[in-house]
Amino acid sequence: MAQTYLYQKTNHYFGQLASGSEKCGMAELREFGAKSIKPGYLGVYFCANQRTLCEIVYRSRIFSRILAPLIVFDCHSEKYLYKTAQNIDWADFLTLTKTFAITVNVADSNIRNSKYAGQILKDSIVDQFREKTGERPSVDTRNPDLLLNLYIHKNKARISVDLGGGSLHKRGYRIESVEAPMQETLAAAIVRLSGWKGERPLHDPFCGSGTLLCEALMAQCNIPAAYLRHKFGFLRLPDFDAAVWNQVKTKANAAIGELDEGLIKGSDIDAGALKAVRANRAALPEGGKIKVRRADFQSLEGFENTTIITNPPYGIRLGDTEGTTALLKEFGDFLKQKCTGCSAFVYYGDAALAKKLGLKPGWKQPLRSGGLDGILCKYELY
């Protein structure tokens, strides 16, 4: 019989998210019915039953990983990591025909090298199989059947199963990309923070590959965030309940609604971006109703009663700080002169750029993503 693992004893899980998205993530968890929600380091602890957990994995827009802890232990050395990992019966999660991989986060601990720590855990798993069967399961870092997470902070280690089987920001609609695309989970947090609920049109004048437009569509039409994903890590849990999982998916898919024509629109100056956004929207139900066109924002006639959500170019990634400064000043003038009665939510990949717009934000929310110290600012345009 399978052992009882930590998540089974406690019903406690951990959701990883980007710094700045904690409140959004916690609100989302409350909506799904999770309990005992507490912020942690780059994530949130919560308690959930199987059904709620399935909902979270299938529908969360904000979390990048949902982790089920198998074991937590004091870990001062590689030797101890190897030995303690042997206490898990890995046959509960893996067979010789299944592949696995390990993501590792290590901070403030005797074990400093995360790559090496991952290697030790891998060896421990492989050796256990070898001793019992003479054979070993293979590692597949690109598309593993089982994805584990090893987290060591202040010499306390936690080994978990990654229930998404990979980062949940990979929704499956990014068919084509642009130079500086936004991460899907970040775009979802921005749409949520904007408070937009489809009550008036939404436009992204720097839409790029359309991440903000696609996330707005998914939120508006109740499209589950993992609707296009095919693989899920929690199918590898020994107590995985396929009936509950299928019920959750069927119910969530049945709740997908329609999009009003013209409610979500975008524009971009670059032909490549237009090609990308057209390919991406086509992957999603109702995606064909997102209207996009090629235009310099300066040539747009302006907006009325519209929510503008956008991510203008920024120097760090696009490599032209002076050009970015001038463009932001012009965009600020555009908002002031041609967008009265609108709200604008502008995400800057570099927080220092917020000053260049020449408008005073009503509020600001730092949001980190992909190693960038970004910030979201709200402007009410009277």
Please identify, using beta-carbon distances, which residue of 29 and 213 lies nearer to ligand SAM: 213
Q: How many CB atoms lie within 10 A of CB 115?
A: 8
Distance from the first to the final alpha carbon of the chain: 66
**12 within 8 A of 38, measured Cβ to Cβ:** no
Determine which residue in the list 182, 292, 328, 376 makes contact with ligand SAM, applying CB under 6 A. Answer: 182
140 touches ligand SAM (CB under 6 A): no
CA 29 to chain centre: 14
Interatomic CA distance for residues 361 and 348, integer angstroms? 13
Stretch that binds ligand SAM, among 34-42, 206-214, 224-232, 255-263 (CB under 6 A): 206-214
User: Where in 311-370 is the site for ligand SAM (CB under 6 A)?
Assistant: 311-313
268 touches ligand SAM (CB under 6 A): yes
Please identify, using beta-carbon distances, which residue of 22 and 268 lies nearer to ligand SAM: 268
In whole angstroms, how close is the CB of 276 to ligand SAM at the nearest point? Answer: 7
In whole angstroms, how close is the CB of 207 to ligand SAM at the nearest point? Answer: 6
Determine which residue in the list 199, 296, 304, 320 makes contact with ligand SAM, applying CB under 6 A. Answer: 296
273 touches ligand SAM (CB under 6 A): yes
Interatomic CA distance for residues 188 and 49, integer angstroms? 25
Number of residues that bind ligand SAM (CB under 6 A): 19
In whole angstroms, how close is the CB of 288 to ligand SAM at the nearest point? Answer: 19
CA 115 to chain centre: 23
Interatomic CA distance for residues 305 and 227, integer angstroms? 31
139 touches ligand SAM (CB under 6 A): no
- The residue nearest ligand SAM at its CB is 208
Over its C-alpha atoms, the chain yields an Rg (Å, rounded) of: 23
**Closest alpha carbon to 152 in 265, 76, 208, 237:** 76
Q: Return the amino acid letter for 113.
A: N
Determine which residue in the list 212, 290, 342, 375 makes contact with ligand SAM, applying CB under 6 A. Answer: 212
Q: Return the amino acid letter for 146.
A: L
**259 within 8 A of 286, measured Cβ to Cβ:** yes
In whole angstroms, how close is the CB of 187 to ligand SAM at the nearest point? Answer: 6
The burial of 264, by beta-carbon neighbours within 10 Å (0-12 exposed, 13-18 middle, 19 or more buried), is given as: buried
36: left (phi over 0), alpha (psi -120 to 50) or beta: left
287 touches ligand SAM (CB under 6 A): no
CA 378 to chain centre: 22
Strand partners, 375: 348, 366
Please identify, using beta-carbon distances, which residue of 33 and 319 lies nearer to ligand SAM: 319
Please identify, using beta-carbon distances, which residue of 187 and 237 lies nearer to ligand SAM: 187
Determine which residue in the list 15, 181, 233, 287 makes contact with ligand SAM, applying CB under 6 A. Answer: 181
Please identify, using beta-carbon distances, which residue of 154 and 293 lies nearer to ligand SAM: 293
Residue 177 vs residues 2, 23, 135, 189, 209: alpha-carbon distances, Å = 44, 29, 41, 20, 6
7 touches ligand SAM (CB under 6 A): no
Helix, strand, coil percentages for the chain (3-state, nearest 5): 35, 25, 40
Please identify, using beta-carbon distances, which residue of 120 and 182 lies nearer to ligand SAM: 182
In whole angstroms, how close is the CB of 201 to ligand SAM at the nearest point? Answer: 18
User: Where in 67-106 is the site for ligand SAM (CB under 6 A)?
Assistant: none
**50 within 8 A of 139, measured Cβ to Cβ:** no
Please identify, using beta-carbon distances, which residue of 166 and 312 lies nearer to ligand SAM: 312
Interface residues toward ligand SAM, by CB under 6 A: 178, 180-182, 205-206, 208-209, 211-212, 268-270, 273, 296-297, 311-313
